[in-house]
Chains A and B, each alone.
Chain A
Amino acid sequence: MTSPTEPPEGNWWDEPVSRRESMWLGIAGIWSIGIFSWMRGFTEFGDQNPTGTTYDVSSEEYRQRVSEYKNAAEDTDRGLVPPGDDVYIGAMRYLWDGLPVVLETGKEYDFHIGSYDVQHGFSIRPEGTLSQQINLQVYPDTEWVIPMTFDEPDTYHVICNEFCGEGHRTMHGTLVVEEG
């Protein structure tokens, strides 16, 4: 009798383990190591990693940087054309400062994302293929620089996916990616 409601009898530690349970332990163990290795390896050879550089910066200072960037950018009907490889985006209730922005395919941009007030969620997807989407967390007092290179021209929609207040659902912006 081996009941979970009673203390095990005798030397239970040395009781043999069923062959099939041992096999399952092996399969589960190998799988765990395998998916760890793949994730670690992907940071070396993969093109999609949520990694970048972060700076501590006050919200006021970050707002100033975004403002300077906007002044330097070319203002067109479709949106701002960045002056170089840097794209600054400031999240605030309930808009994305710096959007819309006009980008080119095949060019690596350093996206700077930060917030002027509370936490927000930076969620982007191309209009043509909604299943292609990335989601990043945006903090106040933090500037996160994360590089991105777009392959396909499309209009990419940015919505906030972190609750930031009652008007949260209206927080929308666009990245217009054109053939480079």
Chain B
Amino acid sequence: MLARITDLFENDYGPDGFRTCSVTGLDIHRSAEKYVKLFGLTAVIALVVGGIFAFNVAMTRWELVGLLEPSSYYTHLSMHAWNLLIFWMVFMEIAILYVGGPMILGRRLPWTKVAAAGWVTMVVSAIGVNYSIWTTEAPNQAPLLTAYVPLPVSSLFYGMAILFLVGATIAALPFFVTIWKEKRGRPEATLPLIAFGAFVTGIIAVEAILGGIAAFGYALAWRLEFIATADAGVYRHLYWIVGHGTQQINLVAMITVWYFLTHVVGGAVVVSEKVSRSAFILYLFFINMGAAHHLLVDPGISANWRIWNTSYAFYGAAFASMIHAFAIPAGIEVGRRRRGLGGGLFGWLTSAPWKNPIFAAITFSVILFGFLGGITGVVMGQMQVNMTWHNTFAAVGHFHATVALGTTLAFMGLVFFVVRTMFQRQFVSGFLAMLTPYAYAGAMGIATIMMMYAGILYGVPRRTAEVVRNIPGSDFSLAAATPLFAVFGIFAVLAILGGVCFVAVAVGSLLFGDRINEGDNDDLLPEGGLRSDGGKPVHAYDMRGTFTLCLVFMAVFVASYVLNWYLLTELWAIGL
């Protein structure tokens, strides 16, 4: 078995250490591929840990089951959050940086010892964070994701969280060195869009990490009694630079993966380099402003501060997302039309490779992120509407739509792609692989919608072990929401089974899948191969299918917006 595992890190490289990928045509160096595999595999382990706790958390919130007592619920919730929202995502993102840098640019990974040091630091600190959460004892409380001061959380947790951020920075250094060398070597050349997206992801990550070190450093100094008190408002401002910033990294990394995989398995082209790159630049300047939507119903912040950050500035990023929302499907539409596969309004879409799990995962990621995550993010990010969303289960629905549906689905697609192209293994079960994105996206989609409804329609709060059937010490409860929780519970279980399918296919294929031979991966490629030129410029192709889909998206957006504002204006008068 050990030989089988070490064999996973081997491929047939030339004497110079490079090989040409039979699918993407990229020149891949052994050093880059080895570390992409290492970080990707570690991410999947974090996904498994977080997924196990997902079951415990969901079965506690479904109070019919009521699996855990509150004394252990918050510990399990913290394990779920840190392993999925941070460790699964960040390990994947380092792998994506190494794909977006050295692999796309056809370079070797520089500073491999630094990459190794980064990996070791991240693994040690991730174990440390898990240990600190699991061993929480009074008076310390479980940190959840936020670890809001002055609720006491163990200093070991803050220390390990800081170490993890340092580790991620170390691991990202070889990527930045790659970009530096590329621009030194070819200053006049434009970076490919994927490398450009990865570079923007990296910069946003640095911003988030600096905020995180400041926030956790401040809390740690208070816990170690270097300073006497910790100000809740100051901590929240600092914390949300990393708290939301990490999720913005997920978003930008996910969009980079969208461009990459829709191209490789769907034949997508870039319909406008100028527009797509401008959207990434908008992210660079504005997306961190999105963090302000956590502070919209906090005391001590002026209305002008909130309006500036959450709209004037943040809409620069929301606009950017709407740009990608057009550019990604339009890329598929044009790519397929130029292959002669675009009959009618949606022929390009109906003829797409829906049986390819990589394509299905990416497409569901785009759709569900946009319709469920993007719209709710902007709606709840309005200062007044936020009063009806803040800290309700609907907010949990929002980030499951963005992170559990959007990013996780995209990363699942990427892992499947890496299993086939870098680990060079056949899926252990083609049927199970095909089923995975449908099962996961469908079930998680419904579970997510139930979370939103429970929060908005019944005011069920987040971060409680129970309140629906029973608020201890009170004859009041939110029992009206019980039917929603029945649907939520069932589909949460199904979604977790979808996740089990994913892990079974990914890990099973690595351990037991047949080795790929020449030509075995041809089924991944779009009809007519990766390169296709219809003879006319990209912008001259019809994009009316995408335009129609975007109009549907806008109609849903407007309807959600109006509905939320209607609910708000039904409330009693509040505020100056």
Query: Contact residues of A with B, CB < 8 Å?
Result: 1-8, 12-13, 15-18, 20-21, 23-25, 27-29, 31-33, 35-36, 38-40, 42-43, 46-54, 108, 113, 117-119, 121, 123, 125, 127, 130-144, 146-152, 157, 159-170, 172, 174
Contact = CB atoms under 8 A, between A and B. Distances in A.
Contacts of A36: 307, 311-312, 315
B86 to A, nearest CB: 18
A63 B192 CA distance: 60
Nearest to B148: A119
A113 B275 CA distance: 47
Contacts of A28: 319, 322-323, 326, 554
Interface in B311-351: 311-312, 315, 318-319, 322-323, 326-327, 330
Contact of B384 (A42, A147, A157): A42
B457 A144 contact: no
A172 B476 contact: yes
14 contacts: A1-B531, A4-B263, A18-B541, A23-B547, A46-B569, A130-B481, A132-B570, A136-B387, A137-B295, A140-B232, A147-B576, A161-B390, A169-B466, A170-B472
A161 B150 CA distance: 16
B259 interface: yes
Interface string B444-488: 000000000000111101111111000111101010110000000
A149 B572 contact: yes
Interface residues of B, number: 112
A15 B537 contact: yes
Given A39-B307, A164-B151, A170-B471, A136 B297 contact: yes
A167 to B, nearest CB: 8
Nearest to B303: A51
Q: Chain A interface mostly helix, strand, loop or mixed?
A: mixed
Contacts of A161: 390-392, 461-464
A42 B462 CA distance: 27
A130 B458 contact: yes
B269 interface: yes
Contacts of A142: 232-233, 299-300
B326 A21 contact: yes
Contacts, number: 307
Which of the listed residues B193, B390, B473, B474 has the most CB atoms from chain A within 10 Å of its own CB? B390
B384 A39 contact: yes
A157 B478 CA distance: 10
B74 to A, nearest CB: 7
B446 to A, nearest CB: 20
Nearest to B24: A5
Contact of A163 (B74, B263, B547, B567): B74
Contact of A12 (B104, B268, B274, B550): B274
> Across chains A and B, which 4 residue pairs bring their CB atoms closest together, nearest first?
A161-B461, A144-B299, A49-B575, A28-B322
B387 A135 contact: yes
Contacts of A118: 148, 150-151
A150 B570 CA distance: 11
A27 B550 CA distance: 10
Contacts of A42: 384
A35 B315 contact: yes
Contacts of A134: 387-388, 571, 574
Contact of A7 (B189, B263, B541, B554): B189
B260 interface: yes
B546 interface: yes
Nearest to A29: B319
Nearest to B467: A169
A46 B573 CA distance: 9
A146 B71 CA distance: 34
Contacts of B461: 121, 123, 135, 159-161
Interface string B183-216: 0000001111110000000000000000000000
A149 B543 CA distance: 51
A48 B561 contact: no
B277 to A, nearest CB: 9
Contact of A139 (B298, B480, B538): B298
A36 B317 CA distance: 13
B66 to A, nearest CB: 12
A100 to B, nearest CB: 11
